[in-house]
Amino acid sequence: MTDTAMAATALGKRFGRRGGWALRDCTFRLPAGRVCAVVGPNGAGKSTLLALAAGLLAPSEGRVTVLGTDPASARARVGYVAQDKPLYPQLSVAETLRVGADLNPGRWDAETAERIVSAGDLDPRKKIRALSGGQRTRVALALALGKRPELLLLDEPMADLDPLARHELMGTLMARAAQYGTTIVMSSHVVAELEDSCDHLLLVGGGRVRLAGEIDDLLAAHTRVSTATGSTVPTPMDGSPDGAPGGLPELAPHTVVESRVTGRQLTALVRPAGPLPDDWRTSAPSLEELVLAYLRNPQAAPLTPAEPEEAAV
Amino acid sequence: MVEYRIDRHSGVATYVQIVQQTKQALRLGVLQAGDKLPTAREVVEATAINPNTVLKAYRELERDGLVEARRGVGTFVRRGLNTTPADSPLRAELDAWAVRAREAALDRDDVAALFTAVLDEHFAVPEDPDGRTDRFSRTDRPDGPVRHSRTDMQDRHDRHDLNPGDPS
């Protein structure tokens, strides 16, 4: 047993020898038992990251470990649902679940799998090819959960689901995490969809990890500030003409993610490096604001924890 | 058994909502000493929130001495909260005061502001343990209307797809 569900060190993936990097310099550690959101714009590298963790892609550089071992050795303990929910179209729902049982001897939880399928009012005799996208997602999740995985990797699991099914299946996933301590990693480009369910965040953008850590810690590390321009630092004394009337407040010691001047007001999202001046108004950002600020500002310094501890292999 | 209702847009952190709703149930007598709170599993299955959020709320209730966790059995109510019955003299006095306030031509907001001011004078403002009640707050934008008109458009766009241009 290890307390690390997933760890990457300088992980990178490039498609084709001359192709661009889909993912690069990816270093993070996900503790076991977390529900982790992998968030980022389309083409950011989310699916590549999940496929690397599932062992379906080999890294071009660096390495990734899951459940304390390499992805191939961990496969029996990992559930993975790809974005396109690949299933055999010619099989019926019931046959698909039997395949799950046959392929996972000793692990298969038929009751859970059948409960998920029947909650969607699916006729077990219906062929997979006759199902809607959302119904197929339900069967794919039933297969993945029926396997009793210790780590569940879900690529855009909620995209095809109607709001009711989304809530119900998210509840099922959370119940799983509560009861068995299952680690769940799920990607989405809609932050709002994940913010109540996840406690850990990986923000991927431009093939790199921009933010990694506990959501509470990440939020606590950032502050939204607003202040009148010229309120903090007087115009430079050397008399050099300064473009901003009254001089801009000094943000320098703090890491600035985003800043904007409107009229006489400066607003910014910063990672404070020390106490902030008393005359600055501060407030806590929401998760969505935080994520959007980083995505709008690709040059903002990433915040990822130091080197992950080497997972025991 | 209490059932939690999570309002994502209230601006109140989810765990605080659970704490508040539990306390409310204790005040109203819906929950009484010896009652069992729903398990984290039951709460998250119904609400789709993160299990740690429920545990955080229960820990806070435990710190306040309102509930106790019995290992492997569940979380149980230790004591109710001071309740003020509907027919108490205090309520009658408040009622009479509200009548006078209305006669003095105060409107609802005036009364609420007055009441809050007096409340703050006599009772300490409850401190959030983390000092971060507004984890997902969408209110209190200090940056005012300029930013607001921007985000209106931006939000609609972003909710569909977080792709504000090429990030690389």
Let me know if residue B2 belongs to a domain: no
What pLDDT does residue A32 have?
A: 95
The whole-number average pLDDT for the span B60-78 is 92
Both B25 and B64 in a single domain?
Answer: yes
Task: Calculate how close chain B gets to A221, using CA atoms only, in Å.
Answer: 12
Domain range for A277: 223-283
Both A197 and A70 in a single domain?
Answer: yes
In this structure, of A168-172, A256-260, B45-49, the range with the lowest mean pLDDT score is: A256-260
Both A133 and A230 in a single domain?
Answer: no
- CATH code where residue B32 lies: 1.10.10.10
B 9-68: CB under 8 A from A: 14, 39-42, 44-54
Both A59 and A151 in a single domain?
Answer: yes
Both A208 and A273 in a single domain?
Answer: no
Neighbours of B44 (CB within 10 A): 30
Both B20 and B69 in a single domain?
Answer: yes
A 254-283: CB under 8 A from B: 260, 262-263, 265, 267, 281, 283
Instruction: Give the chain B residue nearest A198 (alpha carbons).
Output: B50
Let me know if residue B64 belongs to a domain: yes
User: How many separate domains does chain A show?
Assistant: 2
Both A155 and A197 in a single domain?
Answer: yes
Task: Calculate how close chain A gets to B74, using CA atoms only, in Å.
Answer: 13
ipTM score above 0.85: no
Q: Is the per-residue pLDDT at B149 higher than 80? A: no
Let me know if residue B140 belongs to a domain: no
Considering chain A, what percentage of its residues have pLDDT values greater than 70? 90
Both A52 and A138 in a single domain?
Answer: yes
Q: Which residues pair with B124 in a beta bridge?
A: none
Both B24 and B67 in a single domain?
Answer: yes
Domain range for B32: 14-77
What pLDDT does residue B82 have?
A: 67
What pLDDT does residue B148 have?
A: 36
- Are A267 and A225 in contact by the 8 Å Cβ rule? The answer is yes
What pLDDT does residue B85 have?
A: 60
Query: What tens digit of pLDDT does each residue of B90-112 get?
Result: 878 888 999 999 999 999 999 99
Q: Which residues on chain B are in Cβ contact (under 8 Å) with A227?
A: none
Q: Which residues on chain B are in Cβ contact (under 8 Å) with A205?
A: 167-168
Considering chain B, what percentage of its residues have pLDDT values greater than 90? 43
Q: Which residues on chain B are in Cβ contact (under 8 Å) with A204?
A: none
Both A120 and A255 in a single domain?
Answer: no
Taking CA A18 as the corner, what is the angle to CA A15 and CA A19, rounded to the nearest 5 degrees?
35
A41 part of contact set with chain B, CB < 8 Å: yes
Q: Is the per-residue pLDDT at A291 higher than 60? A: yes
Final residue before a domain boundary, out of B22, B44, B77: B77
Residues in contact with A205: Cβ distance below 8 Å, sequence separation at least 6, in sequence order:
A40, A41, A44, A294, A295, A298, B167, B168
Let me know if residue B62 belongs to a domain: yes
Looking at beta carbons, which pairs linking A293-298 to residues 24 or more positions away fall under 8 Å? A293/A257, A293/A258, A293/A269, A294/A203, A294/A205, A294/A210, A294/A211, A294/A257, A295/A40, A295/A41, A295/A203, A295/A205, A295/B162, A295/B164, A295/B167, A296/A258, A296/B164, A297/A257, A297/A258, A298/A205, A298/A206, A298/B167, A298/B168
Let me know if residue B37 belongs to a domain: yes
Query: What tens digit of pLDDT does each residue of A37-92 get?
Result: 999 988 889 999 999 999 999 999 999 999 999 999 999 999 999 999 999 999 99
Both B96 and B65 in a single domain?
Answer: no
Q: Which one has a higher pLDDT value, A8 or A305? A: A8
User: How many separate domains does chain B show?
Assistant: 2
Both A44 and A73 in a single domain?
Answer: yes
The whole-number average pLDDT for the span A128-148 is 95
Let me know if residue A290 belongs to a domain: no
Q: Report the C-alpha gap between A190 and A163 in whole angstroms.
A: 14
Both A58 and A171 in a single domain?
Answer: yes
Mean pLDDT of chain A: 87
pLDDT band of residue A264 (cuts 50, 70, 90) is confident
Residue B56 CA neighbour count, 13 Å, CB half: 17
What pLDDT does residue A247 have?
A: 53
Both A195 and A233 in a single domain?
Answer: no
- CATH code where residue A64 lies: 3.40.50.300
Looking at beta carbons, which pairs linking A106-115 to residues 24 or more positions away fall under 8 Å? A107/A76, A107/A147, A107/A148, A108/A146, A108/A147, A108/A148, A109/A145, A109/A146, A109/A147, A109/A148, A110/A146, A112/A142, A112/A145, A112/A146, A112/A148, A113/A142, A113/A143, A113/A145, A113/A146, A114/A142
Let me know if residue B43 belongs to a domain: yes
Instruction: Give the chain B residue nearest A42 (alpha carbons).
Output: B163
Query: What tens digit of pLDDT does each residue of A174-220 get?
Result: 999 999 999 999 998 888 878 889 999 999 988 889 999 999 999 99
Both A187 and A87 in a single domain?
Answer: yes
Q: Report the C-alpha gap between A1 and A178 in whole angstroms.
A: 18
Amino acid at A139: V
Both A200 and A234 in a single domain?
Answer: no
